[in-house]
Structure 1
Amino acid sequence: MIRSRYTLFLFLILAISSCRSSPGSEADETQAATQPNIVFILADDLGYGDIGPYGQTKILTPNLDRMAAQGRRYTQFYAGSTVCAPSRAALMTGQHTGHTYIRGNGEVPLRATDTSLAKLLQESGYTTGMVGKWGLGLEGTAGVPEKQGWDFFTGHLHHLEGHHQQADSLWRLTNGKSTKVPVPQDSYVNEIFTQDALAFIEDQKEKPFFLYVSYTLPHAELKVQDKYMQPYLTAEGKSVFAPETEQPDGKWYRPQAYPKAAYAAMVTAVDDYVGQIMQKLEQQGLAGNTLVIFASDNGTHLEGGRKMADVTEEFLSSGPLRGVKRDLYEGGIRIPFIAYWRGNVEPGTTSNHVGAFWDILPTFVQLTGGAAPAATDGISFVPDLLGKDKQREHEALYWEFSEGGFKQAVRQGDWKAIRFYKNGQPERTELYNLSADVGEQHELSASNPQKAQELEQLMDQLRTPAENELFKIK
């Protein structure tokens, strides 16, 4: 295994990493969490099995390994969708894709009337900051960050901007308006996002804060700093994952001689950035009153030179799950999800609670003393997070996605159904029992037609027709 063969390189990663365990002060340990700070870190296209806490053995993730060991690891948490924009819309609005306005990719902005998590936390007295990919509203629309509750912003407005790891400019919130500003030549955007996140944390002295860190790693263009590539190269500078197939220069992505090594390095880069944020919280004496959550927006991708064999054979990026980004199989929507809050979340624990992105809004609102809107599809998982009181469970979880042919999915208990459409009409429904078949290898609709029909009816009940023409059933 690469992890064992290249243990020596772990020292390099730990040297790069800024996250070192250090004891907090007594005041830090006993600080009352009446209004906790919240940091939500989102990776882009990171698979369920891409990090150590979920079984990865070839990619080094020491900081996330530590975070899971000191926090709570969720094994049945789901993204809002199987691609970025609707997943983020579910996160921000507390609604699943049967109810959200944004149900797929495309430059469709949040509306002034849409619920916004950031607005709700502002109303509870929080300073709100965001770095990274926004993707929910371009300049001149109601969806720009300054109109959706953000006090601080550095990042991408257009989701296509996030396809490249280097850029000549980024958007910053200046004098209450998102403005495009140049960045140093040859800089890596996720490095800038991290530095701005650290600066935001350092500036928060007076009020509780909510920080949303939306990285563009390990998404799309497989390009990363040499310091992160080093553990995945031999002494001769070749990939340790040979054979590799070079990614040529193309319309969207620049050339990459070693796509597998670059993907692993990008995951390790995310891990290092998480470590830097965790260390900053320690330095500021905030670790005892800050909930930190790490998650991914959907399953792993097949872009920029990445192949299905990389997912299923080299890295097992989806773990035991079937599918990748753009699928409604588990590999497209079930995600790594780790919560850390020293003194509040029990260390080294695992939760099988079934939750989804639309639960984030009611959870954060409850923790911060606000009131969740009635329109939310979410359920607060504070009881499970803190190990107090009985956790309410979902009757069902629902997704729909129109790209590549309309399809729907619903999970109720251990049962999961996926319905595929052709020319706007249902074509077939696949049925799985996840308790016995988490990899969705044994399709059961023929032997359980009544259950399949029940879940089809549930799909119809759990959605309202899409308002935007882009997302209607076709």
Structure 2
Amino acid sequence: MLKTTLFLLLTCLSLTAQQKPNIIYILADDLGYGEIGVNGQRSIETPNIDALAANGMNFTQHYAGAPVCAPSRCVLLTGKHLGNAYIRGNDEWAERGEVWNLKAMNENPALEGQRPMPDSILTVAEILQENGYKTALVGKWGLGAPLTESTANKQGFDYFFGYNCQRQAHTLFPTHLWENEERYSLNNKFVDLHQKLPEGLDPYDPASYSDYQLTDYAPEIMHQKALDFLNSTDDEPFFLYYASPLPHVPLQAPDRWVLYYQEKFGLEEPYSGNYYPNRTPRATYAAMVSYLDEQVGDLVSALNAKGQLENTLIIFSSDNGPSYAGGAQPEFFNSAGRFQEKYGRGKGFVFEGGIRVPMIASWPGQIRAGSTSEHISSFYDFLPTVCELLKTSTPETDGISFLPELLGEEQKVHEYLYWEFPEYKGQQAIRMGDWKAIRQNIQEGNLEIELYNLKKDPEELYNLAKEEPELVRQMEELFRQNHHQSDLTKFRMKALGDDL
């Protein structure tokens, strides 16, 4: 492609194929900062993720690219923060027609997927691909519909298996997934999205929920494809972007894990709200997290079996904070840890609970085992980290490589991190040292800045804007400097001076 060819003209000599480390980036979906044991979780068991931390480095101040799915993934893959990124919200590209009608999507693949990125955008996968890596995405794409220029295969991935469309991922028992550019049929009957328990069925009878626990469980099918990919890589370095749909609702999990947590938690009330109903919502949510953890262990075991573990950098993180929807109970699980997880503070919002995410990096022999990092970092740092790892030129990016931090070397730090988010009434945020500035309700014309000291007030309860007027003025200027009008009208905010 022209964009990668032009970029490669600027690159320096890279490492030989034998020296290049493999890279696995595991991205959980809606997993809260506090939902893994190493970050304080007490109810849900995550021994394999915790083992990654015990054998590597746990980042305690790492941030997602955005507080929801698609823009966070865009930031991760392109190295651009939300003031510059092309995708800044979950844009379902609704002008195509009935994009929320699962039956219509099943009949017409042109209704699947989110608004596409232009082909001119360079992704980290393309950089790796052009540097001799075999690349694969297994899981959820969410950055462009089928039949467009922005499918995973056209954005740097040699192999893709999973959900093209994040709306399709609102069931973990879909009728199909995608393998590269073709639909891959599953042995599941059609059950429409967001179905409630039919009248007349007993919500306390497990048999009433049979329509929501079918045959082919997408996370299991995808996981096998990921293991197949690992086993197919022998002589060339590889990059596996494992973008799991877990533990994003609906509440659907393997029976053996659900039974385990039913015994552990005891009796609980059924869930009958949006997404799909569930007889034991807490047990099922915990089961989803533990099944993801089990899959992490499988990947490590597969690398061990191939003798590739010591030549593989594994990064584990989550695309945003914990959800409030679909039967997830973030306050019961203390899902955001020492931050807030209730609605308005978790997923969808730029408070710490919505964007502070777990991040663990493991690379035996390179990263000091059992280490903890307080380096303030973000998704848009991943692309420059990869470029420094490859010893290749870094394209224009908002990020800073955290490779020195991984290797115990002197690390350059961010002056600040920046987010903007046009949805949920419009928001902006800046993290600068211990300080956090937030704007809410921008789409309603509000430009007032809230100011929090995260060291003293990690729950962001005490707005200190009146006590720190000079710092507020500084944050206001940074908000102005970092916001650039989106190419897409949907992501513009009139109060910030954008044309609508």
Regarding TM over 0.5, the answer is: yes
Query: Would the aligned equivalents of 2:309 and 2:364 in 1 still touch at CA under 8 Å?
Result: yes
Q: Report the alpha carbon displacement of residue 108 of structure 1 after superposing the two structures with TM.
A: 1.9
Is residue 113 from structure 1 mapped to residue 120 from structure 2 by the alignment?
A: yes
Alignment match of 1:435 (pick from 441, 455, 458): 455
| Secondary structure at the counterpart of residue 139 of structure 2 | strand
Task: State how far apart, in whole Å, the 2-side matches of 1:422 and 1:198 are.
Answer: 45
Is residue 380 from structure 1 mapped to residue 401 from structure 2 by the alignment?
A: yes
Q: Report the alpha carbon displacement of residue 466 of structure 1 after superposing the two structures with TM.
A: 1.1
| Residue identity in the other structure for 2:120 | T
Query: Would the aligned equivalents of 1:244 and 1:260 in 2 still touch at CA under 8 Å?
Result: no
Tell me the residue number matched to 1:20: none
Tell me the residue number matched to 2:37: 52
| Residue identity in the other structure for 2:432 | Q
Is residue 345 from structure 1 mapped to residue 363 from structure 2 by the alignment?
A: no
| Secondary structure at the counterpart of residue 247 of structure 1 | coil
Query: Would the aligned equivalents of 2:32 and 2:336 in 1 still touch at CA under 8 Å?
Result: yes
| Residue identity in the other structure for 1:164 | T
| Residue identity in the other structure for 1:473 | M
Tell me the residue number matched to 1:318: 336
CA displacement 1:211-246 (0-9 Å, x = unmatched): 000000110201111111122113xxxx71654342
| Secondary structure at the counterpart of residue 222 of structure 2 | helix
Describe how 1:217-228 pairs up with structure 2 within 5 A: 217-228=246-257
Tell me the residue number matched to 1:294: 316
Q: Report the alpha carbon displacement of residue 247 of structure 1 after superposing the two structures with TM.
A: 2.4
Task: State how far apart, in whole Å, the 1-side matches of 2:175 and 2:330 are.
Answer: 31
Task: State how far apart, in whole Å, the 2-side matches of 1:295 and 1:442 are.
Answer: 28
CA displacement 1:232-265 (0-9 Å, x = unmatched): 113xxxx7165434225x5xx2210111111111
Describe how 1:52-451 pairs up with structure 2 within 5 A: 52-106=37-91, 107-173=114-180, 178-185=181-188, 186-234=215-263, 240=265, 242-248=267-273, 250=274, 253-306=275-328, 310-312=329-331, 314-322=332-340, 323-373=345-395, 375-388=396-409, 390-423=410-443, 425-451=445-471
| Residue identity in the other structure for 2:133 | Y
Query: Would the aligned equivalents of 2:17 and 2:236 in 1 still touch at CA under 8 Å?
Result: no
| Residue identity in the other structure for 2:73 | R
Q: Report the alpha carbon displacement of residue 66 of structure 1 after superposing the two structures with TM.
A: 1.1
Task: State how far apart, in whole Å, the 2-side matches of 1:422 and 1:120 are.
Answer: 36
| Secondary structure at the counterpart of residue 159 of structure 1 | coil
Query: Would the aligned equivalents of 1:247 and 1:259 in 2 still touch at CA under 8 Å?
Result: no
Query: Would the aligned equivalents of 2:422 and 2:443 in 1 still touch at CA under 8 Å?
Result: no
Query: Would the aligned equivalents of 1:311 and 1:318 in 2 still touch at CA under 8 Å?
Result: yes
Query: Would the aligned equivalents of 1:163 and 1:221 in 2 still touch at CA under 8 Å?
Result: yes
Task: State how far apart, in whole Å, the 2-side matches of 1:141 and 1:372 are.
Answer: 27
Query: Would the aligned equivalents of 1:420 and 1:427 in 2 still touch at CA under 8 Å?
Result: yes
Tell me the residue number matched to 1:17: none
Q: Report the alpha carbon displacement of residue 33 of structure 1 after superposing the two structures with TM.
A: 7.4
Structure 1 runs, 4 residues or longer, greater than 3 Å off: 421-424
Task: State how far apart, in whole Å, the 2-side matches of 1:59 and 1:211 are.
Answer: 26
Q: Report the alpha carbon displacement of residue 468 of structure 1 after superposing the two structures with TM.
A: 0.3
Greater share of strand: 1
Task: State how far apart, in whole Å, the 2-side matches of 1:370 and 1:303 are.
Answer: 42
| Residue identity in the other structure for 1:179 | E
Alpha-carbon distance change, 217 to 333 in structure 1, aligned in 2, over 3 angstroms: same
Task: State how far apart, in whole Å, the 1-side matches of 2:318 and 2:442 are.
Answer: 30
| Secondary structure at the counterpart of residue 428 of structure 1 | coil
| Residue identity in the other structure for 2:87 | I
Query: Would the aligned equivalents of 2:29 and 2:245 in 1 still touch at CA under 8 Å?
Result: yes
Deviates more, 1:274-283 or 1:103-112: 103-112
Query: Would the aligned equivalents of 2:17 and 2:132 in 1 still touch at CA under 8 Å?
Result: no
Task: State how far apart, in whole Å, the 1-side matches of 2:41 and 2:483 are.
Answer: 36
Task: State how far apart, in whole Å, the 2-side matches of 1:113 and 1:90 are.
Answer: 15
Q: Report the alpha carbon displacement of residue 346 of structure 1 after superposing the two structures with TM.
A: 0.5
- Unpaired segments of 5 or more residues in structure 2? 1-15, 92-113, 189-214, 495-500
The percentage of aligned residue pairs carrying the same residue is 43
| Secondary structure at the counterpart of residue 101 of structure 1 | coil
- Unpaired segments of 5 or more residues in structure 1? 1-30
Alpha-carbon distance change, 466 to 279 in structure 1, aligned in 2, over 3 angstroms: same
| Residue identity in the other structure for 1:335 | V
Q: Report the alpha carbon displacement of residue 191 of structure 1 after superposing the two structures with TM.
A: 0.8
Task: State how far apart, in whole Å, the 1-side matches of 2:361 and 2:73 are.
Answer: 18
| Residue identity in the other structure for 2:131 | S
Tell me the residue number matched to 1:21: none
Alpha-carbon distance change, 32 to 436 in structure 1, aligned in 2, over 3 angstroms: farther
| Residue identity in the other structure for 1:170 | L
CA displacement 1:376-417 (0-9 Å, x = unmatched): 0010001001112x1001111000111121110011111100
Task: State how far apart, in whole Å, the 1-side matches of 2:266 and 2:379 are.
Answer: 34
Task: State how far apart, in whole Å, the 2-side matches of 1:86 and 1:266 are.
Answer: 24
Q: Report the alpha carbon displacement of residue 60 of structure 1 after superposing the two structures with TM.
A: 0.7
Q: Report the alpha carbon displacement of residue 426 of structure 1 after superposing the two structures with TM.
A: 2.9
Query: Would the aligned equivalents of 1:163 and 1:216 in 2 still touch at CA under 8 Å?
Result: no
Q: Report the alpha carbon displacement of residue 422 of structure 1 after superposing the two structures with TM.
A: 4.5
Tell me the residue number matched to 2:195: none
Q: Report the alpha carbon displacement of residue 457 of structure 1 after superposing the two structures with TM.
A: 1.1
Alignment size in residue pairs: 427
